[in-house]
Amino acid sequence: MAETLTKERPGLLSRIRGVFRRFQDFRMHNQETYRRSNALLAWLFPVFIVCMAELNQDVHILTFLHFCVRRPTVILFDILFTYLLYGLLIMITNRIWAAATIQGLAYMTLSVVELFKFSTNGNHFKLVDLSVGTGFKSLKNLSSFAYIKITVPLVVYVLIALFMIGFIFVRNPAFTKPLRKRVLPALGLLTTGILIVCVPGVSRTVYSIFDVDTTVSANAFSTNEKFEKNSMLAFIVETTSERLNNLLQEPENYTKEHTLETVSEPAIAAKSDVRPNVIVVMSESFADFRRVESLHLETDAYDVFDQVAAQSHQINVAVPTFASYTVRTEFELMYGLPVRSLLDTITPQREINVEKPSSMVSYYNSLGYETAYVHPFVETFYGRDEIYSTYGWDQMVFHDQFTVPLQEYGNGYVSDETVTDQILALVKESDAPLYLHATTMQNHQPYDWIPNKTELEVYLEGVRASSIALQRLVNELNSIGEPTVLLFVGDHFPSMRKEGNIYDAAGINSENCDVLYEQPALIWSNFELQEDALPQETVSVFYTTPILMRAAGLPIDSFYATVLKQMETYPVYTSIFLEPDDRNETFDLLTYDRVVGKDYTSTREK
C-alpha cells in the first residue's frame, strides 16, 4: 500500500506542474499575439484604476462624471500621480502585471477603507490613521467600529477592478529590462514623488498648477469640505504632504535655562493636609445635544445627568477633537497640556520621545498617590499598553484585566456600569489616596443596534445609561466615606453615519461647528472645594486636571502653576477657536519639553 502511494504522488505533482506549464505557455502566447492591445491595456491601467477608486466613493457614475467636469485638473493630478507610482512599480518588479496588481489592490483597498471610515465616523481616511492600533487584537476590534454596509455598487466596482487585474495577468503585457536599465528611471520616478509629497516648495507649486485644495483644515467639517474638492486620491496625497511639511519643530531658544525660566510662577502650597482620591472619568462620546439649538431637542435622556450636575460644579470646556481620535482629549487630561502645541496630531501619545515622560501620573506619584488607568478595550489600540506603561501607572486595567464581572451594553462594548464597578473596587482596595483615570467605551459608534430607532435616539439611550452609572458612582463614592473629587467629561461629540446624519439635519458646517467642540464637565466632591479655583468662562479641557488639583487644595508645583497662569490670557488654547498664527509660546515650549524634548521641567528622578 505504501509503495502504491509513493508511485501515485509523483504523478499528481507532474499533472500540477503540467497545468502550470500550459498556463504559462498560454500567457506567453498572449504576450506575443496581442502586443498592441496589451500595450494599450498596460498604458491605460492607471486611468482605469483611478476611475474605479473614485467611482467607488461617488457610488453613482453621473456623480463621478460631474466631479470630473467640475474639477478636471484634480482628476488629471490623480492620473499623473498614479502613472508615477505605476512606473516606479514596473521598474521595481520588472513586470507590468505585478505593478498593476500591487497598485490595483492598494487603490481599491484604500477606497473601501475610506468608504467605511467616513460612513462610520464622519472623518476621512489619512495615511496617519495607520498608526491608530497595532497587533491582531487591534485589527480584530476595529471591525466593531466600522459601519460596514456591503452594497451592490461596491461589489460591482471591486469585482470589475479584480477582473481587470486578472485580465492583465493573463494577457501578460511584455516588459523585461535588465536591472542596469531600470535603476536610473526608478530613481528618477522615486525622486519626483518625494519632491511632490515632501518638499514644501515643490508641493505648493504642483498643487497650485492642478488646483488641489491646500487649505489648512481647522476642524473635521472643513476637512470634509477639502475632501469634496480634492477627491480621495488627491486628498490622501495632499494631507500626507501637509503632515510631512508641518512636522513639530524644536522651539527657538530651547535650552534648559530658558525652559526653566519659562516656568516662572511660584508653587502653590497645599490648602489642607487632606489627600483626596482624584477620579477622572472621560466618557466616550458623551455630549449634550441640547446645546445644538437648531435641533430643538426635547428629551428626558439627560435628566439624571442634570441631577448629578446639580450636586456638582459644572464648567464648559473646549475639546480638541470631534467624532473620533479620543486620545487627543485623553492626552490633554493626562498631561494638562494642549495638543495644539503638537500641531494637532491625531495621535499625540505617539509623539512622546521621553523615556519616562512627566504627566499627571508622575505628579500624583510624587505626592504619594497610587495611580490607576482603566479602559475596557483592547490594550494595543492606539498603542496604549506600550506607551502608557512609560507614564508610571501603578496599575493599568484593560479589558482582559478587569477584576469585576464584565457586562456588555447593548452594542457589545463594556458597559459604564462595569467601569463604575471597577473604579469602586480600586478605590476600596487602595491603601493610599488614589489618582485614577478611566476612559469608557459604552457609547462608541455605531448607533444602529436598536431596531426602528434613529441614530440619535439610540445614542441618547446610551447617554441615559451613562448618566445612571455616573449617579451610582457618585453615590457610592460618597458612601465609602473617603474624601474624593471626581471630574466627569466627554471626549467629543459622537460620530454619525454619512447617510442622513444628524449634523447635516442641524445645518452644521465648517463655519458654525464650534458648538460641537464644547463639552460640559462636572466636578463633584464630598468635601468643600476651593471654589475660587473654578473658572466661570469656557476653558480648554487640558486646564481641568490642574484646576482639579487646585480646587481640591492639593499642592501645585511651579510647572502647573505656570499652566494655570496662562488661563488668564489664553482660557482657550484649542485650534478650532483660534487663528493658525495665534500661538502661545509658553505652552508650545513646555509641551515640546515634556513630550519631545529633554523634559527639563521634570521634578522627578529619571
Report the pLDDT averaged over residues 515-525: 96
Q: Which residue has the higher pLDDT, 57 or 440?
A: 440
Residue 33's pLDDT band (cuts 50, 70, 90): very high
Top CATH class, 256-595: alpha beta
Q: Which residue has the higher pLDDT, 501 or 336?
A: 336
| Dist CA 462 CA 415 (whole Å) | 9
Report the pLDDT averaged over residues 70-98: 96
Asked whether the beta carbons of 390 and 452 are under 8 A apart, the reply is no
Residue 5's pLDDT band (cuts 50, 70, 90): very low
Residues in the chain: 606
| Dist CA 52 CA 115 (whole Å) | 13
Question: Hey, which residues does 11 pair with through a beta bridge?
Answer: none
Q: What is the pLDDT of residues 239-258, one digit of tens each?
A: 999 888 888 899 988 999 99
| Dist CA 64 CA 54 (whole Å) | 7
Q: Which of 485, 472, 481 is nearest to 522 (CA)?
A: 485
**Is this model's pTM higher than 0.95 or not?**
no
Asked whether the beta carbons of 278 and 548 are under 8 A apart, the reply is yes
How far lies 341's CA from each of 247, 587, 597, in Å? 11, 7, 13
| pLDDT the model gives residue 135 | 45
290-314 b/e (C-beta count within 10 Å ≥ 16 → b): eebeebebeeebbebbeebbeebbe
What is the DSSP code string of 42-110? HHHHHHHHHHHHHHHHH-SHHHHHHHHHHSHHHHHHHHHHHHHHHHHHHHHHS-HHHHHHHHHHHHHHH
| pLDDT the model gives residue 273 | 87
What is the DSSP secondary structure assignment for residue 577, as one 8-state letter?
G
What is the DSSP code string of 351-410? G---SS--SHHHHHHHTT-EEEEE-SS-TTBTTHHHHHGGGT-SEEE-GGG-SS---B-T
Average pLDDT for the chain: 91
pLDDT of 4 > 60? The answer is no
* Domain ranges (residues) in the chain: 26-241, 256-595
pLDDT of 143 > 70? The answer is no
Report the pLDDT averaged over residues 77-90: 97
| Distance separating the N- and C-terminal Cα atoms of the chain | 71
Residue 138's pLDDT band (cuts 50, 70, 90): very low
What is the DSSP secondary structure assignment for residue 446, as one 8-state letter?
P
Cell of 523: 466636578
pLDDT of 346 > 60? The answer is yes
pLDDT of 482 > 80? The answer is yes
Q: Which of 234, 393, 339, 357 is nearest to 584 (CA)?
A: 339
Report the pLDDT averaged over residues 433-437: 98
Cell 481620535 maps to which residue? 325
| pLDDT the model gives residue 251 | 92
- State yes or no: cis peptide before 446, omega within 30 of 0: yes
How far lies 101's CA from each of 54, 86, 93, 210, 452, in Å? 18, 10, 11, 27, 43
- Please tell me the least confidently modeled range out of 215-229, 561-575, 581-595: 215-229
Residue 145's pLDDT band (cuts 50, 70, 90): low
Share of the chain above pLDDT 70, in %: 93
Other Cβ atoms closer than 10 A to 12: 9
Other Cβ atoms closer than 10 A to 510: 17
- Please tell me the least confidently modeled range out of 137-146, 300-309, 569-578: 137-146
| pLDDT the model gives residue 603 | 65
Asked whether the beta carbons of 316 and 520 are under 8 A apart, the reply is yes
Helix axes 455-480, 416-429, angle to 10 degrees: 20
What is the DSSP secondary structure assignment for residue 251, as one 8-state letter?
P
| pLDDT the model gives residue 131 | 60
Residue 125's pLDDT band (cuts 50, 70, 90): confident
Q: Which of 436, 471, 422 is nearest to 278 (CA)?
A: 436
| Dist CA 128 CA 235 (whole Å) | 13
| pLDDT the model gives residue 115 | 84
Q: Which of 273, 248, 251, 272 is nearest to 262 (CA)?
A: 251
Residue 133's pLDDT band (cuts 50, 70, 90): low
Q: Which residue has the higher pLDDT, 127 or 479?
A: 479
- Please tell me the least confidently modeled range out of 263-267, 368-372, 380-384, 426-430: 380-384
